[in-house]
Homo-oligomer: A and B are copies of this chain.
Amino acid sequence: MAPLRMPVLRGSPCLALGAPQPGLRARPGRGAAVVRAAKTADGPSVAIAGVTGAVGQEFLRVLKERDFPYSKLKPLASARSAGKHVQFDGQDIVVEELTADSFKDVDIALFSAGGSITKKFAQAAIDSNCMIVDNSSAFRMTDGVPLIIPEVNGEDMAGYKVGKGGIIANPNCSTIIALMAVTPLHKAAGVERMVISTYQAASGAGQAAMDELVLQMREFLDGKEVTKEIFPLQYAFNLFSHNSPITDTGYNEEEMKMVKETHKIWKDPDVKVTATCIRVPVMRAHAESINLQLKNPLTESEARAALNSSPGVSIIDDRENNRFPTPLDATSRDDVYVGRVRRDISRGDDKGLDLFVCGDQIKKGAALNAVQIAELLL
């Protein structure tokens, strides 16, 4: 692949479509009785590359839920899906094959078709003055490409606005979920080291993985041999180390993403992170057990207060009734749920905390976070 001409913000506003007005971010029509409130002539034209996938489908739901302003929606996928129909905002729209020409009339392209597709088409999109928000790992660690969780480091995409060509990366889903919970504590007391163990849902590996898990469950309960096409190991009533390749550190790529992306998002290459990423037979929403070593003391109640005042974070931490976050609590929800907040008993001071966190990784871990980024582009 030729080096991407990035991240210089180039091109002129898409005058043909009308430059979006600053006022648009106020979500016109939310709460009003108008149908298709978000469709507006002066909204950006939006493409979804990978619309038939797990994240792509979630994009449609999130755009509607948030009344994202748009003048046109363009669903893109592979040639296999061209001609299929998607329902969006009361319209029936035909899926087109993603090609280098797809972005000519597009202001914002939400990419969720895998890293190789982003790499293949990013330049064409940028050349068409299209802003890409990419869910793949293709450019996350590229110097100058903002890696954004709006609640955490939205300021790092200052200057990125619709009407120019550019790319902004959505972090890995496990990173987003961890940092949504941990950043408020980092701001309060400084995180020195994190030990993370994940409990990752099938949906993190896309629609086909969810389908295989359901199929395997049925087969298993019927006493049949289970079908293993997506993962080489039985998934029904089993769990396994994340399927990404092992790097030369002994950590797998998913774990290394958590390490490196945290450094980039927090702009702190010194924060120490170790992670063990495990897939569990849950359909949707990741969970993470997080042990924190802090620079300064932070009591449990100070930690809860910091979490409580953080947008996008909800606390479920009812010790008496043994009620803490579960993946089902987080499923299809915007927020990241935090519980089991407790002083680390392995330390003699107030500089350690344990947490248990759940977040919908298709939603906040992918589609919602990307749409929030797109909102900042308006």
Interface residues of chain A, those whose CB is within 8 Å of chain B, are 193-195, 197, 199, 214, 217-218, 221, 232-234, 237-241, 243, 245-246, 249-252, 259, 272-274, 276, 278, 280-283, 287, 289, 291, 300, 319-320, 322, 324, 326-328, 339-347, 352, 354, 356
Instruction: Judge whether A281 and B278 touch: CB under 8 Å.
Output: no
Instruction: Judge whether B241 and A324 touch: CB under 8 Å.
Output: yes
Instruction: Judge whether A287 and B239 touch: CB under 8 Å.
Output: yes
Instruction: Judge whether B199 and A324 touch: CB under 8 Å.
Output: no
Instruction: Judge whether B345 and A280 touch: CB under 8 Å.
Output: no
10 A–B pairs (Cβ distance < 8 Å), ordered by A: A197-B276, A237-B327, A237-B328, A238-B327, A239-B287, A250-B341, A251-B345, A274-B344, A274-B352, A289-B289
Instruction: Judge whether B346 and A238 touch: CB under 8 Å.
Output: no
CA distance A9 to B343 in the complex (A): 41
Partner of A221 from B218, B234, B249, B326 at Cβ < 8 Å: B218
Chain B residues with CB below 8 A from A346, complex form: 193-195, 259, 272-274
CA distance A293 to B256 in the complex (A): 20
Chain B residues with CB below 8 A from A287, complex form: 239, 278
CA distance A48 to B273 in the complex (A): 47
Instruction: Judge whether B249 and A195 touch: CB under 8 Å.
Output: no
Instruction: Judge whether A289 and B282 touch: CB under 8 Å.
Output: no
Instruction: Judge whether A326 and B276 touch: CB under 8 Å.
Output: no
CA distance A214 to B237 in the complex (A): 10
CA distance A320 to B328 in the complex (A): 34
Partner of A328 from B232, B238, B300 at Cβ < 8 Å: B238
CA distance A320 to B234 in the complex (A): 19
CA distance A327 to B344 in the complex (A): 28
Instruction: Judge whether A342 and B250 touch: CB under 8 Å.
Output: yes
CA distance A37 to B276 in the complex (A): 46
Chain B residues with CB below 8 A from A320, complex form: 246
